[in-house]
Amino acid sequence: MLLPLLRSRAQGEILAWIVLHPQQEFSLVEIARAVGVSSPTVMREVDRLADAGLVRQVRRGNQRMVQAETDTVVFAPLAALMAVTFGPVPVLRELLAPVVGIRQAHIYGSWAARYAQVPGPVPGDIDVLVIGTADPDELDAVAAAARARLAREVSIRRVRPATWDDATDDAFKATVTSRPMVALLSAGDRS
């Protein structure tokens, strides 16, 4: 639902991961881990991308390293399209990872619904829930950086862990948890 031109969500996530990190090389295993799909799926999609000239590959020992091919006329528009469709997950994970005090972070709202294949219009913004004690100014800086990279409004709502855990009759928590959410970070991701 995010970009119905693609065959699958896995294809979109793999392509977004590679083109949104154009200066980095990744092994197939690293890509599989980053986007949460199997290595054979990554291998098939990377083969297709390489055949189309969208990625370059090199062998380093027994690893196949992949990097976005930036010297092609389609790179810039493709990267822009991937940023506004599949980009929120890799971009927000990257920007939130170094922030201290995050127990959990999720995307919720219309973008999460499209990601979960719920039909609807293209989302105009990205809503992020951070459960933790992270500095609000640091979260504002993350939202501004994400806004610049994703070309859309990014709103981060921070809720303290005790407030979230104790909110049994809270309308916001009931609404958010009753609809699709996309996990970005959890305490286990940081250990």
Strand partners, 126: 154
Domain interval for residue 166? 89-190
> In total, how many domains does the chain have?
2
Check: CB of residue 45 under 8 Å from CB of residue 12. no
Identify whether 3 is part of a domain.
no
- Summarised one tens digit per residue, pLDDT across range 50-96 is 999 999 999 999 999 999 999 999 999 999 888 888 889 989 999 99
E runs forming strands in the chain: 26-27, 55-60, 63-68, 102-108, 125-132, 153-159, 182-186
Strand partners, 182: 107
Output the pTM of the full model: 0.80
Please state the separation of Cα 22 from the chain's center in Å: 15
Same domain, yes or no: 113 and 186 = yes
Same domain, yes or no: 97 and 184 = yes
- Summarised one tens digit per residue, pLDDT across range 105-146 is 999 999 999 888 888 888 889 999 999 999 999 999 999 999
CATH number of the structural domain spanning residue 130: 3.30.460.10
**Would you state the structure tokens that stand for residue 93, as one six-digit string?**
């994970």
